[in-house]
Structure 1
Amino acid sequence: MFSIILNFTLSGALFVVAILTFKKVSIPKEVAFASLPFLFALHQFTQGFVWLGMYGLIGPRALGLAEGIFVFYAQGLLQFLIPLSLWLIEPAGTRRKLIGVLMVIGGILTAYTLYGLAEESTSVYVKNHILVYVNEWTDKIWVGILYVLTTCGALLLSRSIAIQLFGLLNFLFLVLVYVFIPYGLTSVWCLYAAAISVLLYFYFVERRIAFLQILKKKEVDFNSKLEKELNTLKHRYPKLREKWQRRFSVDR
């Protein structure tokens, strides 16, 4: 029962983070990236229903639907969605081009895995209090390598420190899970990724700070240029300056 409470509680907390993140969106191309906490929240909400099915609290049909949604998102969409959302917000340059390459690879991998998930049935069972998802089509080493490359690799290529940290923590935890509980890779890693997706909110905080710094620099540059121009006029047209000063003093 603890797992049910954990998934639904985490889902509720992430919905709050998702709302706060959506409020920070200022341009359309940020929507895909800002939607990630919301999608992680839905993902954990879905896994909560998988646990309900494991305890026999919902019927087989509802359980099958929850299993399908969870696996299709975890194994079929993230490898394309993550590099796509990053490619949209990344400034032009080498990093964006590399993320674009990973996005193409992720798109091909998504097509492959979605086809396999639709063709091959996924079995779900509980082992050591952990949900285990098994699909013969996606349970291949090369699929896993490309999956990590397109997700964690794209995150680490970002210019944003918050996004890089999210990618690094995901990769390190992935290695730990693969070494100690490889059978729970899909469920445990997704749970962890969802929990730390709150870091994605700080991308918008980071971006806001950078924007204000640029604005301040422009203001300083403008004031400096204005002061320089006024000093130039002061030296070139001293009589005109005195005339305007007298006029303003009379008006007052």
Structure 2
Amino acid sequence: MCISAEVNFVASAVIGAVGVATLAHVRHPRDVLFGAMPLLFALHQFTEGFVWLGLDGAISELSRDNAAFLFLLYAQGILPIAMPLSVLLMEDVPWRRVALAAITALAFVFGAYMIWGVMSFPTSCYAENRSVVYSNPVTETMWTGILYILVTCGALVLSGFHVVRWFGVLNLIGLTVVFLMKSYAFSSVWCFYAAVISVLLYWQFRTGKIRPLPAMA
């Protein structure tokens, strides 16, 4: 994310508290993975706090590189699998389940490729304009970016649940803004944005407003 380690750690604490509260209101086993998203995002931001500490010279380069590896592994490899899978698990409408199953299958192949890229090729990270820039020769390409948007936001927008759909729309808006303003630090800035808006999921689970949209004929 932007600015400093302190911002990441504070955001992680706040989002993490909301994430625990969100999970406490999840009532169905199939909703657990989606309900865990705020907590997972909080842990992700906590990891990037250590990247910042490394960039600021507060911890060793090895510790910084390990933190950067974990951050990118989740952001580019695990998240694009977990997001569509969580949406698929909650869906009840047959035609949506078929479509989401196809996206999830693509996500597993894509995620495996991204994990291979993060694990097999060196990733550099540095600060630019108070944002963290991650650079990997395999995962940072135009086509991987397109597939990333398809399997994450595409699955969210396709969902039959209001909360999931709006979460997807807000993420698409965020993706566009980040791409236009800070494309060089895309992974870091977008993940922070997604983490922040994930707190909205608490209110949906708390008030029981996870409801499917009417099935299309």
Task: State the shift of 1:67 in Å.
Answer: 0.5
Q: 2:54 aligns to what?
A: 53
**1:122 corresponds to which residue?**
123
- The equivalent of 2:214 in structure 1 is none
Return the offset for 1:122. Answer: 0.4
Asked whether the 8 Å contact 1:160–1:203 carries over to 2, the reply is no
With over 3 angstroms needed to count, the CA separation of the structure-2 counterparts of 1:204 and 1:71, relative to structure 1, is same
CA displacement at 1:209 relative to structure 2: 7.6
- Where 2:26 maps in the other structure, the secondary structure is coil
The residue aligned with 1:100 is: 101
* Count, aligned residues: 211
Larger Rg, first or second structure (1 or 2): 1
State the partner residue of 2:81: 80
Q: Which residue of 2 aligns with 1:159?
A: 160
TM-score for both structures, normalised by structure 1: 0.80
The one-letter amino acid paired with 1:122 is T
Give 5+ residue unaligned stretches, structure 1: 211-252
Post-superposition CA distance 1:75-96 (Å, at most 9, x none): 1111110010111111132222
State the 4+ residue runs in structure 1 displaced beyond 3 angstroms.
205-210
CA distance in 1, matches of 2:83, 2:203: 16
Residue 27 of structure 1: how far off its partner (Å)? 2.5
Secondary structure of the structure 2 residue equivalent to 1:81: helix
Greater relative contact order: 1 or 2 (C-alpha under 8 angstroms, separation 6 or more)?
A: 2
Where structure 2 has 5 or more consecutive residues not aligned to the other structure, the ranges are 212-217
Contact 1:163 1:199 in 2 (8 A): no
1:195 counterpart residue number: 196
172-181 or 102-111, larger mean C-alpha shift: 172-181
Instruction: Return the alpha-carbon distance in structure 1 between the equivalents of residues 189 and 3 of structure 2.
Output: 14
Structure with more helix by fraction: 1
Q: How far apart are 1:207 and its partner, in Å?
A: 3.6
1:15 Cα shift? 1.1
The CA RMSD measured in Å over matched residues stands at 1.7
Q: Percent identity at matched positions?
A: 41
